[in-house]
Amino acid sequence: MLLPSEYLGRQGPLAQRVTDFAPRKQQMEMADAIAHALERETTFVAEAGTGTGKTFAYLVPALLSGRKVLISTGTKNLQDQLFHKDLPVVREALDIPVTAALLKGRSNYLCKHRLTLAEQDAHIESKIHIRKLRQIRNWAIKTKAGDTTEIPEIPEGDSIWPLVTSTSENCLGAECSDYNDCHVVNARRLAQASDVVVINHYLLLSDMVIRENGFGELLPIADAFVIDEAHQLPDVASNFFGISVSGYQLNELVTDIAGA
C-alpha cells in the first residue's frame, strides 16, 4: 500500500486529477506524520503555514486509515467547503469507498414540526415573515438535508430561523409526528453510519458538555479526531467552559465590599 505522501506526490493520483496540483514537501511530510499518529493512536500537532495544503495533508491519511474519523473546522463556512469541495476531490482521487457525512448543530436544520406551527400561528402578521415562511415551505418540499444554508436569500441570523428550527427544549423527540423524517435525526443517523464526519468546533464542544453532564451525546463515537484551525478552539472552549464577569458586576461587587 502506498504511503499518503505518495498519493500527494508528482506521480500520485491527486496530481493526475487536480488541475495545477503542485507536490509540496511539507504537505507530504505532514500527511505521513498524520498517518503515523493515526496508526499509533497518538496525538500529532502541526502548525502549517499558508500554502502548505494542510487540508489534503489530513484528508488523505484520514480517508486511507479505514477508521472512523471526525474532522472539526473552526467555522461553518469552512465546514461546508471541506465537505462539498475538498473531501469529494480527495475521495475521488483515492478511489476508495469511504462514506462521509456533514453534521451541524440542530439550529442549522429545518424543523418540519415548527414550520407547520409557524404557518398556523395567527400572531405572525408581518408580511416579511409570511413571505419568508412561503419561501421556506417551497424549499422544505424539495430539500433532502434540510440544511438552512441551502436558502442563501434567508441568511444565518435572520429572525425567521428560530421559528422554524428546533432547540433541545422545544423538540418533541420520538413523540413528534415528523420524527421518522426529521432532518436533525437523519443527519445524526447518517453521521453514525459514515466513516468520516465533518463537524465544527462548536458542535464538538457542545457534545463534550452534554456528555459530561450525562445528558446523552450529539456525536458518534470516533476512532480519531482531526482538529483543523485548532488555534480557534480555545476561544470557542472558553464560551463553553469559561466564566465571564462584566465590568458592571465587578463594580457592583466593589460597591458592596466598600459598603460592608
**Cβ 166 to ligand SF4 shortest distance, Å:** 4
**Cβ 108 to ligand SF4 shortest distance, Å:** 11
Select 13 or 105, whichever has its Cβ closest to ligand SF4.
105
Q: Which of 124, 172, 190, 210 binds ligand SF4 (CB under 6 A)?
A: 172
Query: Is 196 a binder of ligand SF4 (CB under 6 A)?
Result: no
Kindly identify the residues of this chain, within the stretch 113-142, that bind ligand SF4 according to CB under 6 A.
Answer: 113-114
Count of CB atoms situated within 10 Å of the CB of 137: 14
Q: Which of 14, 64, 87, 111 binds ligand SF4 (CB under 6 A)?
A: 111
Query: Is 147 a binder of ligand SF4 (CB under 6 A)?
Result: no
- Which residues is 100 bridged to in the sheet? 196
**Helix (H/G/I), strand (E/B), else coil: 48:** coil
Query: Is 190 a binder of ligand SF4 (CB under 6 A)?
Result: no
As a dihedral over the C-alpha atoms of residue 32, residue 38, residue 44, residue 45, rounded to 10 degrees, the angle is: 80
**Cβ 162 to ligand SF4 shortest distance, Å:** 13
**What sections of 65-182 are H helices per DSSP?**
76-81, 87-94, 112-120, 127-142, 161-164
- Which residues is 226 bridged to in the sheet? 71
Q: Which of 182, 196, 199, 226 binds ligand SF4 (CB under 6 A)?
A: 182
| Residue 210 contacts residue 81 (beta carbons within 8 Å) | no
Size of the site for ligand SF4 (CB under 6 A): 14
Select 173 or 234, whichever has its Cβ closest to ligand SF4.
173
Closest CA to 30 of 51, 50, 12, 56: 56
Half-sphere exposure of 10 (CA within 13 A, CB side): 1
Query: Is 237 a binder of ligand SF4 (CB under 6 A)?
Result: no
> Rounded distance, CA 69 to CA 79, Å?
15
Select 76 or 114, whichever has its Cβ closest to ligand SF4.
114
Q: Which parts of this chain interact with ligand SF4 (CB under 6 A)?
A: 111-114, 166, 171-173, 176, 178-179, 182, 184-185
